[in-house]
Structure formats: structure tokens, C-alpha cells
Chains A and B, each alone.
Chain A
Amino acid sequence: MSFIPHFSVHQVFIAPWTTDISSYGWIMLMTFLVGAACGLVGNYLILRRMALMGDAISHSVLPGIVVAFLVTGSRGTVPMFAGAVAAAVLTTVLIEVIHRHSVIKQDAAIGIAFSSLFALGVILIAVFADTVDLDQDCVLNGELPLIAVSPPMTLAGMTLGPPAVVRMGCVLFFSCGLILLFYKELLLSSFDPALASAMGLRSGWIHQLLMIWLSITVVSAFEAVGSILVIAMLILPGATAALISDRLVVRLGWSLVHAALSAVLGLHLSIGLDCSPSGAAVVAGSFLFGVAWVFGPQDGLVSRWWSRKEGRTETLV
């Protein structure tokens, strides 16, 4: 068995859309849903220069989930969400406390807070390995391939699909609703927190709500792609969109496109190389970012090079 498997066009490009659609379809859909939901909240993180809070939260929800599991003994949606939200709030509070009451700056405070919580989570998993239905690999890698084989969820006699997919769909729906309802509040408080406070918006509350939204998104994506790749899903779509457009609405749209494309490309890549589908989705997403970086309309390397050439001739004239 060689490192790079034998390549067959049928197996890589055709089968996933025809004979194997029943399993690969779910994986693709799930990857898209994760990318879309994370990308939407990620746009705001990038706008607020808080991308690394995404990093922090995606690590620190782990002990929340483990504790919730140990307390309730179930892997149900509600305890997991509750644990994750509690851990996220704890993280933001810890970061705030550390950097407000000492010389430690925010970057180091973020690093200290999330790494401690994540370490705690890993230790809890290792110590209670017999009882916790999570392992370290799943924490990092996610269990995307298992989603398709899990028993589908039924509601009122209708077969909906694997529970993780249904949950992720609900989170995406909820994210879209949140953006539609609070578009201008979120925009204003991200752009100019001082003005937002002057107009009666509580910036602190919006920050905390954003963190809760983030933690809910992260915890539902966690199962599929693992904690670290969540960061990629949070930042890559928004960052790619930021290279394409200046306007927030357009950026939100492009980040959905990025999510869809990286889901499809990632799936083919993972079949072709026979590797972890979540890792492959991230590689595909990074590739798309690279494309936008090189060919983007404003910041793109090509257009910069072109305008520099133009600019040079202009000064000569």
C-alpha cells in the first residue's frame, strides 16, 4: 500500500455524485453547513479583529462539553450547548480579568486562558476515558465520516437525516436569523463601539452575545471537524471574502460560496488522497484563499503588480 493511493477518475469525481451519494452527500452537506455557519460568525470576528478569540473559544469549549457530559451522563444537545456556552463565557471573563488586573496584555491573556481550559479538558478526557464517549483524536479530527452512518433522526414520522446534520442546519438557520434581525446593530458595534454605546447599544453585551453565538456554532461544528479545524472554518471564509469585497453583505455572501466550494473540493481531495475529510476541507479552503489572494480584485497580488506597473509608467509620464 503506497502513501498516495492509486488515482481513478470514477472513484474520485463521479462516484460521490452517483452511486455513493447517500453517504458522501451527507458529508458534503455537513461540511458546507459547518463552513457556512462558522463563516457567518467569522466575518464579524474578522471585522472586530477578534479572530483569535475564535481560536480561544474553540479550544475552551472542550472542558465545558466534558463536564456537561460527566454531570448529566448524556451526549444530548442541550447539556452540550449549556456546557459550551458556560465555558465560553468563562473564557471571556478570564481573559478580561487577567488583562485588566495585571500587566499581562490581551494576547498573552488569551493564550493563558484557553490553553489552561483546553489542557483541563484533555486531562478530564484522559482520566475519565472509560466513561467519556470522546477521545483525543475526535477532539482534534472530528468524526465527519461517521456522520453518514449514524442513525437518521425522525421528526413526526419524517426522516430528516443524521442528527448532527440536523443540528448544524438549525444553527445555520439561527445564525442567518440573527444576522437578519440585528444586521445594523452588529455592524455598528463592530465598526465603531464608541458610537454604538453613545447611541444606547451596550457594546459589552453585544460582545458577550457574539461570544455565546460563537460558542454554540463552535460546539455543533466541533463534532464534525474537531476543535482546531473549527478555527479554519471560522476564519478562512471570512478572510477570503474580505479580499473580494469591502461591503459586509457581499462578504457574507462570498463566505457562503467559499463554504460550499471548499466542501465539494475538500471531499474530492479526501477521496483522492484517502485522508481525513475535515483536514482536506481545510486544505481546500486554504487553497481558495490563496486563489483570492493572488487574483483578488483589490488586494490581489496580480492586480497589485499590475497597478504598480501602471503607476510606474504614470509617474514617468
Chain B
Amino acid sequence: MDLSDRSSSLTTAPIGEESPLEVHDLTVAYRKKPVLWGVDLRAPAGKLIGILGPNGAGKSTLIKACMGLLPASAGWVKVFGKPINQSLLRVGYVPQRESVDWDFPVNVMDVVLMGRYGKLGLFRRPTAADRSCARDCLERVKMLPFADRQISNLSGGQQQRVFLARALAQESDLYFMDEPFAGVDAATETAIIELLHELRHQGKTLFVVHHDLPTARNYFDWLLLLNMRVVAFGPTEHVFTYDLLQKTYGGRLTILSEVAEAVRVKEA
């Protein structure tokens, strides 16, 4: 394995305090083909962290492997200093919108209540307290009027907000969000990013998979540039540079021009 590559990826949070997410030498392979190679990172607490990278860079794979949804071929993941299966209840998840069947016979309230299932434990019914918590979460994403709507009768942005409300209902300290801005309208995007900032202010750590470069700089405190390996991980102002972005996106011309544009805007 290339050592210089390894050292550049070792940009980490200050050592000492308990990190919300610590990943060491994580390797994930589908069949025989590796998708992630030797990922090392130590995330700081209370930051909104964007995960950037080209298609197929393993962004979703990384967060799924962190949550134990995909088996790792090598390496380990610690969440709040413990193995993932011991600290799952402190983890919230917003999956990609396409990952579920929106014709499923449940309404908005049912979906948000699912966020409470982890805390409830096995075989216990949701209580009135859970329901009122779910209602609060719906209110925070401005979806309360739709609580009785079947989920297929929602727009893309509304569906995304429902998923967000479900993650809020988990009341976690570390969140993983897989492309929460995919296919949503501008108004929803603003509303979501405001909510994410609010969560960050409450001291929660958020990992958000994102693929729009120009907005990434304004949205996130920290960035993780990923292309099968960690290209860079650090505060946005250090990481959002032409060199590192070029290294992440390789020779993809269209994206390069986008990068150039984004950097130009930053430097102006």
C-alpha cells in the first residue's frame, strides 16, 4: 500500500476527547472488487461534516460500513469509543430516498414513529410520549399537516423531510445522512440545511453525503474528500482547495471545470 497516500489521509481531530466516530483501516469489498481502501479517520464532535467524492467513490458504502450495514473486509469502526453494535442507539440514519418502496402501506406518522423503535426496544408498543415526540419532529420539518398522508402522495422534497423527521425522532448524537438533498426543491434544501445547522448547535455530529460541489463549501464545517481512499479530511477552509479537489475527482473534465468555478468563487 502506498505510504504517502496513507499519511495524507491521517488528518484527524485532536486526540484526547472521545470521538463520535473513529475509523481505522476500514476496507470494504463487493465480491472481489474493493470499494473502500484503508479508511482512517477520527471525527471531531459537534461538527457538520460533508462527504464529497465522484460517483462510485464509496460515499454511501462508507457510511453503511460505519453503521455495520455492510461487512468490512478489514479494519474497525468505533462510535463514541465503543464498537458500533454497542452504540447503535446513539446513531441516527437518513437513507437514500430510493432505498424504500414509497407505495408501502404506511402513512407519514407511522414512518416517523419508526424512529422511536430503537429506543423502545423489542415488542413494546409506541406510547403517547413517543407519538408526541414524533409530532414534534414532524413540526420541526414543517410536515405536521401531512401526518395522515400515505407516503406515496408526497413530493420528493416532502418524502425527504419525512425521513429527516424520522432521524430526528431517533434523538441520536451522531447522524449519517445519505444524499438528503437529492431531488429536493430549493426551498426544502434551505430548510434542511437550517435544520442541520440547528442540530450541530445542539452538539450533534452529522455526516452528510453530498455531491454538489459549489454548495458544499457553504454548507459544511468539515469535509471528507473520498475516492475509494480518504483524500483529505479536515475543516472546510483547509480542505476545499483546487489541488485536493482535483485529486479527488481525477481527470473528469466537466467536474473539473465545476471545481475551478467553485474555487474561483471562494477566492473572490
A311–B32 CB distance below 8 A: yes
Task: Say if the beta carbon of A307 comes within 8 Å of chain B.
Answer: yes
Q: Which of A233-289 contact B (CB under 8 A)?
A: none
Query: Which of A103, A307, A308 interacts with B103 by CB under 8 Å?
Result: A103
Main secondary structure of the interface of A (DSSP, over half): helix
- Least CB separation from A308: chain B residue: B32
Q: How far is the CB of B38 from chain A (nearest CB, A)?
A: 11
**CB proximity of B109 to chain A, nearest CB, Å:** 20
In the bound complex, CA of A284 to CA of B114 (Å): 48
Chain A residues with Cβ below 8 Å from B103 are 103, 105
The digit string for B124-159, where 1 denotes a CB below 8 A from any CB of A, is 000000000000000000000000000010000000
Nearest-neighbor residue (CB-CB) of B73 within chain A? A315
- What residues of A have a CB within 8 angstroms of the CB of B152 in the complex? 103
The total of interchain contacts (Cβ-Cβ below 8 angstroms) comes to 6
In the assembled complex, the CB of B102 is this many whole angstroms from the nearest CB of chain A, namely 10
Min Cβ gap A117→B in Å is 26
| Distance between Cα atoms of A308 and B152 in the complex (Å) | 43
Q: How far is the CA of A168 from the CA of B251 in the complex (A)?
A: 58
Q: How far is the CA of A75 from the CA of B103 in the complex (A)?
A: 46
- Chain A interface residue count: which class? under 10
A308 to B32 alpha-carbon distance, docked (Å): 8
Collect the chain B residues with CB atoms within 8 Å of residue A308's CB.
Answer: 32
Report the Cα distance A103→B152, complex, angstroms: 10
* Chain A 304-317 interface 0/1 with B at a Cβ cutoff of 8 Å (1 = within): 00011001000000
Q: In angstroms, how far is the closest chain B Cβ from the Cβ of A208?
A: 27
Shortest C-beta distance, B1 to chain A (Å), equals: 9
- B-contact 0/1 string along A171-183, CB 8 Å cutoff: 0000000000000
Contacts of B32 in A (CB 8 A): 307-308, 311
Least CB distance from A306 to B in Å reads 12
0 or 1 for each of B101-122: is its CB under 8 Å from A? (1 = yes): 0010000000000000000000
Provide the bound-state CA to CA distance between A271 and B254, in Å. Answer: 68
Question: Nearest-CB distance from A121 to chain B (Å)?
Answer: 31
Complex Cα distance, B32 from A311, in Å, reads 9
Please give me the residue from chain B that is nearest to A307 by CB atom: B32
Bound state CA distance, A105 and B32, in angstroms?
33
Residues of B76-110 at the interface with A, using a CB-CB cut-off of 8 Å, are: 103
Which A104-129 residues have a C-beta within 8 angstroms of B? 105
- Taken together as a complex, chains A and B put the C-alpha atoms of A307 and B31 apart, in Å, by 11
Question: B153 → chain A, closest Cβ, in Å?
Answer: 12
Tell me which residues from 141 to 199 in chain B have a Cβ below 8 Å from any Cβ of chain A.
152
* Cβ contacts under 8 Å, A311 to chain B: 32
Give A177 to B55 CA distance when docked, in angstroms: 44
Considering the complex, give the chain A residue whose CB is closest to the CB of B27: A315
State how many angstroms separate the Cβ of A284 from the closest Cβ of chain B. Answer: 31
Q: Which of B20-67 contact A (CB under 8 A)?
A: 32
The CA of A103 and the CA of B105, in the complex, are separated in Å by 10
| Chain A nearest Cβ from B107, distance in angstroms | 14
Q: How far is the CB of A307 from chain B (nearest CB, A)?
A: 7
Proximity string of chain A (83-114) to chain B, C-beta cutoff 8 Å, 1 when within and 0 when not: 00000000000000000000101000000000
| Least Cβ–Cβ distance between A269 and chain B, in angstroms | 35
Q: How far is the CA of A105 from the CA of B104 in the complex (A)?
A: 11
CB distance from A17 to the nearest CB of B (A): 44
- Residues from chain B with Cβ under 8 Å of A103 in the complex: 103, 152
Instruction: Give the distance to chain A from B133, nearest Cβ to Cβ, in Å.
Output: 30
User: How far, in Å, is B154 (CB) from chain A's closest CB?
Assistant: 15
Find the residue from A307, A308, A311 having the highest chain B CB count within 10 A.
A311
- CB nearest neighbor in A for B105: A103
CB distance from A33 to the nearest CB of B (A): 38
Chain B, Cβ-Cβ closest to A315:
B74
**CB contact list, B212-233 vs A, under 8 A:** none
| Residue in chain A with minimal CB distance to B1 | A315
> A278 to chain B: closest CB distance in Å?
37
> In whole angstroms, what is the CA distance A103 to B104 when docked?
9
With CB as the reference atom, state the residue of chain B lying closest to A299: B31
Q: Which residue of A lies closest to B150 (CB)?
A: A103
Chain B: minimal CB distance from A316 (Å): 11
Q: Which residue of A lies closest to B104 (CB)?
A: A103
State A307–B33 Cα separation when bound (angstroms): 12
The residue in chain A whose Cβ has the minimal distance to the Cβ of B31 is A304
How far, in whole Å, are A311 and B103 apart by their CA atoms in the complex? 43
Q: Kindly state the separation between the CA atoms of A143 and B103 in the bound complex, as whole angstroms.
A: 45
Closest B residue to A304 using CB positions: B32
Show 6 residue pairs from A and B whose CB-CB distance is below 8 angstroms, ordered by the A residue: A103-B103, A103-B152, A105-B103, A307-B32, A308-B32, A311-B32
A-B interface, 5 closest residue pairs, ranked by CB to CB distance from nearest: A103-B103, A311-B32, A307-B32, A105-B103, A103-B152
